[in-house]
Amino acid sequence: MEDAVESPKTMRILQCLNWHLDSICKVAPIIREQGFQAVQVGPLQPLKENGYEHWWMSYQPCALTIGNQYGSREDFIHLCDVLHNEGLLVFPDVVCTHVAGAVDGTLCPHEKVDKKLTENFAFWRDAKLIEDWDDRFQVIHYCAGLPTFDLNNVHLQDYIIYFLNDFICCGADGFRFDSAKSIPTPQEGCNFFSRVLGNLNGEKLFNYGEVIFADENLISMYVEYLNVLTNTWSNKKNDVVLFSESHDSFLGLGYTRSKSSQQITSEYSCLVQHYFQTLYYARPFDDEWKSSSIKEIHQKCMMKK
C-alpha cells in the first residue's frame, strides 16, 4: 500500500456519494486534473437495504465495519493506492451517530444491526424524537428519526476508535463525520471528539464534521476539535469546509434541485475565492464536476496563492 500523501494548504474535496469504488478509480486522473485535492467516499458500512435504489440507505448502517455494496475493505485499500498515486487524499464518510431503524418505524435498531451494539443498552440514547432543531438539549440528547448512540459511553467510543483506525490502516487520510451537529462537544460534557480523535493512529489527518445551519457560536465550539463542514459562511476561514450544495440539499430536502449545475458551480466559485477548504458534490448522472469551469476555478485559486 502506498504511503499517504501530505495534506495541501488548500482542500478542494469532490464528494462521490453512491459511487462504487471502482468507478472512482477509473476517473482518478481526471479528478486530479480538475484541481481537486481529495475525494470524499460515501459510507462503506454494511447497510440494511440496497442504497442504489434509495440514496439515504447509505446513511442507515448496521455495523461499525468496512464493506458494503459500494466496495469491500480490499476495494478501499486499492482505491487509496490509486488516489494516492495521483496525489489525492481519501476521506471516507463515516456514520458514528446512529444505525438503521426497525421496519416498523420505531426508534429501535433494525434486526440486521450488529448484536455487539444492540445488546448493550448503555450504548443508546432515550427513544425520543428531536422536535426542535434550535433546542440544543434535544439535538444532543434525542434521536433524529433513527436509533441514536449515546457517544459518552467509553466502550462504544472504543468500538468507533477501532473502526476508524482500521480505515486509517487501509489508507484513509481523514474522515467526514456525518451528523456531527448532534454529537455533544467537551464543553457540553462529552469527550467523544477529544478522546476518539486523540486515539487515532494517523498523522496529519484531515477530519471534518457536518454542522449545517449553524451560527458562529456553534461553529466555534466544534472547530476546537475538527474542521466544520457547513453551508454557513463563517469567520473561521481556516477551520471550515464550505459547500454550495450537498447530497441532502439536492436529493433530500431538495431546495437546490431547482438550480442548474452551472448555477451551483457559480456559487462554488464564490466560495473558492473566500475559503481555503471547500466541497463540491458530484450530482448523480451529471458531469459538471468535469467541466472546464471547475478546472478554471481551481486554477485561478492556485494562481492567487
pLDDT number for residue 51: 59
Average pLDDT, the chain: 94
pTM over 0.85: yes
> Is the domain defined by 11-59+66-97+173-304 classed in CATH 3.20.20.70?
no
> Which tens digits make up the pLDDT trace of 56-108?
899 999 999 999 999 999 999 999 999 999 999 999 999 999 999 998 888 99
pLDDT tens-digit series, residues 134-166: 999 999 999 999 999 999 999 999 999 999 999
pLDDT band at 7 (very low <50, low <70, confident <90, very high): very low
- Domains of the chain, by residue range, sit at 11-59+66-97+173-304
DSSP states along the chain: -PPPPPPPSSEEEEEETT--HHHHHHTHHHHHHTT--EEEEPP-S-BSS-TTT-GGGGG-BS-SSS-BTTB-HHHHHHHHHHHHHTT-EEEEEE--SB-PBPTTSSSSB-TTS-HHHHT-GGGB--S-B---TT-HHHHHHSBSSS-BB-TT-HHHHHHHHHHHHHHHHHT--EEEETTGGGSPPGGGT--HHHHHHHT---SS-EEEEE--S--HHHHHHHTTTSEEEESS--S-TTTEEEES--HIIIIIS-TTTTS-HHHHHHHHHHHHHH-SEEEEE--TT--GGGSHHHHHHHHHHHHH-
